[in-house]
Structure 1
């Protein structure tokens, strides 16, 4: 099984799940139907299914056309009844080319957000807009407590889990991360690697859980040094509880330039 990134819009990725023994594919969060249609035509593939992580248009905008064109399965949050053929919730299992994916509800960026986790020899997390390389999603509908809960749950996944998010936000995330964690050698090194990749127009993904735990400020908001620097950026008093600390780091990112 292979995951192939298709660039869409300014900085989105539509992930294609492909199996070498199948002429079919699945698409994750196809915001732009044309991108997937072009891939299917050029590679002579048939779209058999779609996974949706949340309702935002840049993740769902192409679903209706693709569904009509291929008569494929569409799996996602239950309330998207106009788009899906099957709604899923926490711990529901989806099987794609012999590999099982478990739905993980991670409300915060949106209240309907679902990640998909496959615990195989090489675990995979399709993280949508919850966990980015070096960052997390904006709190468009949910609360800091919900996003902190999501980060804490994802931190429990195996360290070697590959993380496939849906935006090329890495360098911007790392600029902020370095402002809070300037002596973090893992972060410094990975930032250099990703800068070189982007200079070649190459993708910086996937990440992995071990790297995120070592470098992502939203998985490290329990560290006093990070909270102190976030508070300084905001001209605030440092937070004293875990939820307030996470919220302070998130606010610092929201206002960072």
Structure 2
């Protein structure tokens, strides 16, 4: 049996996720946005929390670490660059490291852009990446630290994953991201279909997370900054893709 994943809402729009190894019984929470929904998810699944894998230091991703650690005595793994902000961590990781959840292995990728300490966890054997606030369904995070070339490189690295790789992001901003995507890429037929799917999912109480890399490459404007139609939409015809990406992200900030 391979990886088992249970995703659920926390706070208003955070996405919580549990990763379970059915062979060993190990179970990791990806980030710890809110204790109550995580406890409910553990009860629903019957899994027992052994680990917390932190993607970055922001409060809405680490707020429930302390009570969960006290309750479960779980191991907390956090980015080395967030060492001062995650004092309850037992282990700090950086680019090139890997972590185990039971027999499941995740490679640690440093994916800065939203913030300098951001990491993603790539479970290569199962083709699943937990990308926090680096990439969202139909969108990407705000650049809060660092540079646009750094952020663009992080997104390009994720975009190079196999088309069928699943992406779990840290928030459900799909409808607002989709409205912006349609403004930036109005003639994209695949995007129009995805928005219909997103609206139907919302009406049914679902969300489009995980997303597939192939779908994101076809519909996410921030992964399509190398396309001439996106360059035209921001008045950057002929400019390098990173400049188009910057213009798109700054437009989205004002959208």
Q: Same fold (TM over 0.5)?
A: yes
Match of 1:106 among 102, 105, 111: 111
Unaligned regions of 5+ residues in structure 1, if any?
232-236
Q: Does 1:163 align with 2:162?
A: no
CA distance in 2, matches of 1:155, 1:218: 10
Structure 1 position 37, deviation (Å):
2.5
Match of 1:90 among 74, 84, 95: 95
CA distance in 1, matches of 2:44, 2:206: 21
Please tell me whether the aligned partners of residues 239 and 248 of structure 1 are also in contact (alpha carbons under 8 angstroms).
no
- The within-5 A match list for 1:1-257 is 1-41=3-43, 43-78=45-80, 79-80=82-83, 82-120=87-125, 122-231=126-235, 240-256=239-255
SS at match of 1:35: helix
Deviations 1:130-154 (A, max 9, x none): 0111111001112211111111111
Deviations 1:24-83 (A, max 9, x none): 421011111222223334554321000000001110000011112111111111133512
SS at match of 1:27: strand
Distance 1:44 1:215, change over 3 A: closer
Deviations 1:201-246 (A, max 9, x none): 1121110111111111111111222122134xxxxx6672332221
CA distance in 2, matches of 1:193, 1:37: 30
Unaligned regions of 5+ residues in structure 2, if any?
none
CA distance in 2, matches of 1:180, 1:125: 26
CA distance in 2, matches of 1:173, 1:208: 16
CA distance in 2, matches of 1:166, 1:104: 16
- With normalisation by structure 1, the TM-score equals 0.92
SS at match of 1:59: helix
More deviation, 30-39/102-111? 30-39
Structure 1 position 22, deviation (Å):
4.8
Structure 1 position 156, deviation (Å):
1.3
Please tell me whether the aligned partners of residues 23 and 44 of structure 1 are also in contact (alpha carbons under 8 angstroms).
no
SS at match of 1:109: coil
CA distance in 2, matches of 1:152, 1:42: 36
Please tell me whether the aligned partners of residues 21 and 104 of structure 2 are also in contact (alpha carbons under 8 angstroms).
no
- With normalisation by structure 2, the TM-score equals 0.92
